[in-house]
Amino acid sequence: MQRKDIRNIAIIAHVDHGKTTLVDQMLKQSGTFRTNEIVEERVMDSNSLEKERGITILSKNTAVSYKDVKINIFDTPGHADFGGEVERIMQMVDGVLLLVDAFEGPMPQTRFVLQKALDSGLTPFVVINKIDRPAARAAEVIDEVLDLFIDLDATDEQLEFPVIYASAVGGYAMLSEEDERTDLAPLFEGILDHIPSPQGDDEDGLQLLISTIDYDKYIGRIGIGKIMRGKVAKGETVVHARTTGDFVNVKIVNLYNFQGLKRVEIDTATVGDIVAISGISEISIGDTICSIDKVDPLPFVKIDDPTISMNFMVNDSPFAGREGTFVTSRHLKDRLEKEMLSNVAMGLEELSADSFKVLGRGELHLSILIETMRREGYEFAVSRPQVIMKKTEEGLMEPMEKLFVEAPEENASAVIEKIGQRKGEMLNMLPTGTGMMKLEFRVPARGLIGYRSEFLTDTKGYGIFHHLFDGYDHYKGEIRARTRGSLIAFEGGTSVAYGIYNAQERGRIFIHPGTEVYEGMVVGESSRLEDIAVNVCKRKQLTNIRSSGADDALKLVPPVVFSLEQSLEFIADDELVEITPKNIRLRKRILDKVTRERAQRKTQG
């Protein structure tokens, strides 16, 4: 059976090439919204973090109708850190819209997401977006896309991809650059003509692969997936085939499909439909829902292994419990276990009653989880990110990254030198003709931890870099993570201008006057290699000559205020980041100065 009335597609692209904006326009022009309905921009980026950062973090699905054909659309992340989201969506679609910027052309993450689509045997459809940019070079970009397809070993059928020219912001698409710029009709027609319709036997036993998990506080867990075979009905008893190998008879309480941005209750669904089901409390990604008379679970796509880990632990600082709602180890464990159910690219190991190791794809992958938990009211501490090594017969192996850099020509030598210090090997160097230099390196993943802020300083903010996982290689030797120590608060209290003024002679300060500090808290970066204890709470002794108003004359250097990512990059192995809903603080693992020095002597000796 071939479902001519359905198309299932994923939109894939590099970060900021316009995926979410294009979906916005498809929703508007397909009549999904009422004419008087107020719709915000990038409506698919529903997560507050997605709106703030302008990136897609979670893959999301919607559906539009065009000429009586239902088009199920999946908006996928562009960052390689969220590759787990991309990989599982490839199981639910029959084709992909590859969006490429008409000026930038294929970028590193374009390669990553396209590789996943081609490996899954999906039919590609190329959209050259931002055709209205002044420096658009569509013809050259199409050649670059073709080279990328060849480089990724695309099949002959995949190489015959159709091309549409579009402007997601302008809301129009064209078959050629000279066509009239009206609406997205050419794009919709192209999807109907070139994306295969789903096929399967609707008379055979049910086979529904769960690829996404949603949660509703009233309904509970909701499994979302594509019906590969057979039919399903609301109230039907089916077999829940779990990835653990267990088979359980369950009842489908509610059945939904998608219309626009809404879940709509339905009674039945068949081959090719994207559906959501509720009533199965233990449902997880990768499970198969089968009919009772034919239990035939599907193999789930292998998700790439995590490459980086971080320890999450209960906050034990002197300020613990002041600002967070969820502060205990039970709260922390429950929240992390809940995350593992829907975030297939993450892993979790319990180290002790109060400490957990979380494994992920990259710093951004883990920092998004930390920021999400912080906003939910959780309070905890995290360690410096560590790469995950592998021990094999050949010896110790470490994850490697392909690093793609675009930097001003006058700063290229500084970048090459810094990457060399981090055990990186330069693969390619190409001037762009616009004063910028394109560089390509192969570098250990641990060499990139903490490099981003240094890179932006070296390139005066004009540099851009992206990196992709590039397999494992032999351990490259020690890399010095930090060239400077920390300034550590000598005692607890409230920082004052006089104390900070004296401390700033020793390095960069991270706090303002009036900040509450505790002993062992990191308040700045030392100008030397070793840590220095400073007293930022020290007040000037008042005499009949010195007045309290004399502090007004002290000139303080504005403090450096770190974001969450910068904090994670900055800390050393013996330091932690304290996360609360109101503050992000840096601290030593061992707060007491004498105990800390004793522990250091023990490790050195």
pLDDT tens per residue, range 474-518 = 998 888 767 788 999 989 999 999 999 989 889 999 999 999 999
Residue at 358 is within a domain: no
Residue 87 has pLDDT above 80, yes or no: no
Residue at 216 is within a domain: yes
Question: Are residue 56 and residue 183 in the same domain, yes or no?
Answer: yes
Tens of pLDDT along 52-83?
444 433 445 778 888 888 888 887 764 444 44
Binding residues for GTP: 16-21, 129-132
Question: Are residue 180 and residue 223 in the same domain, yes or no?
Answer: no
Residue at 297 is within a domain: no
Tens of pLDDT along 333-389?
999 988 887 676 788 999 999 999 999 877 777 888 898 899 899 999 999 998 899
Binding residues: 16-21, 129-132
Q: What is the largest CA-CA distance in the chain?
A: 97
Phi and psi at 356, nearest 5°, equal -135, 140
Question: Are residue 132 and residue 58 in the same domain, yes or no?
Answer: yes
Question: Are residue 511 and residue 559 in the same domain, yes or no?
Answer: yes
DSSP line for 359-377:
EESSHHHHHHHHHHHHHTT
Closest Cα to residue 289, out of 263, 269, 266, 259? Answer: 269
Residue at 439 is within a domain: yes
Domain end call among 162, 194, 226:
194
88 is in which domain, residue-wise? 6-194
Residue at 201 is within a domain: no
CA distance 454 to 463: 11
Question: Are residue 20 and residue 160 in the same domain, yes or no?
Answer: yes
Residue 39 has pLDDT above 60, yes or no: no
Residue type, 93: V
CATH, residue 262: 2.40.30.10
Tens of pLDDT along 454-483?
788 888 888 888 777 888 999 988 887 677
Using CA atoms in the order 73, 78, 80, 86, what is the torsion angle rounded to 10 degrees?
A: 0
First-to-last CA distance in the chain?
A: 73
Closest Cα to residue 345, out of 59, 72, 569? Answer: 59
Asked if residue 64 lies in contact with residue 30, where contact means CB atoms within 8 angstroms, the answer is yes
Domain end call among 262, 290, 318:
290
Domain end call among 194, 224, 248:
194
Closest Cα to residue 155, out of 124, 113, 194? Answer: 124
Looking at the structure of the chain, the number of domains it has is: 4
Residue at 308 is within a domain: no
Closest Cα to residue 518, out of 488, 563, 538? Answer: 488
Question: Are residue 443 and residue 575 in the same domain, yes or no?
Answer: no
Tens of pLDDT along 249-300?
888 888 888 887 678 888 988 888 888 888 887 787 788 888 888 888 887 6
CATH, residue 569: 2.40.50.250
DSSP line for 223-280:
EEEEEEESEEETT-EEEEE-TTS-EEEEE--EEEEEEBTEEEE-SEEETT-EEEEES-
434: CB partners within 8 A, 6+ apart: none
Residue 40 has pLDDT above 50, yes or no: no
Phi and psi at 498, nearest 5°, equal -65, -45
pLDDT at 580: 94
Asked if residue 518 lies in contact with residue 317, where contact means CB atoms within 8 angstroms, the answer is yes
Question: Are residue 248 and residue 278 in the same domain, yes or no?
Answer: yes
More confident residue, 91 or 511: 511
CA distance 413 to 411: 6
CATH, residue 108: 3.40.50.300
Distance of CA 598 to the CA centre of its chain: 39
Burial label, 475 (beta-carbon count in 10 A; 0-12, 13-18, 19+): middle
Alpha helices, DSSP H, located in 5-155 = 19-29, 48-53, 83-89, 108-119, 138-151
pLDDT at 416: 92
433: CB partners within 8 A, 6+ apart: none
pLDDT at 464: 80
Question: Are residue 143 and residue 15 in the same domain, yes or no?
Answer: yes
Question: Are residue 102 and residue 31 in the same domain, yes or no?
Answer: yes
Eight-class DSSP state of 264: E
Going by their DSSP bridges, the two strands 220-229 and 308-313 should be labelled as: unpaired
CATH, residue 460: 3.30.70.240
Question: Are residue 144 and residue 82 in the same domain, yes or no?
Answer: yes
Give the pair of three-digit tokens for residue 3: 């479902």
Question: Are residue 492 and residue 573 in the same domain, yes or no?
Answer: yes
Residue at 361 is within a domain: no
CA distance 271 to 1: 8
Question: Bridge partners of 233?
Answer: 268
Residue at 299 is within a domain: no
Question: Are residue 512 and residue 464 in the same domain, yes or no?
Answer: no
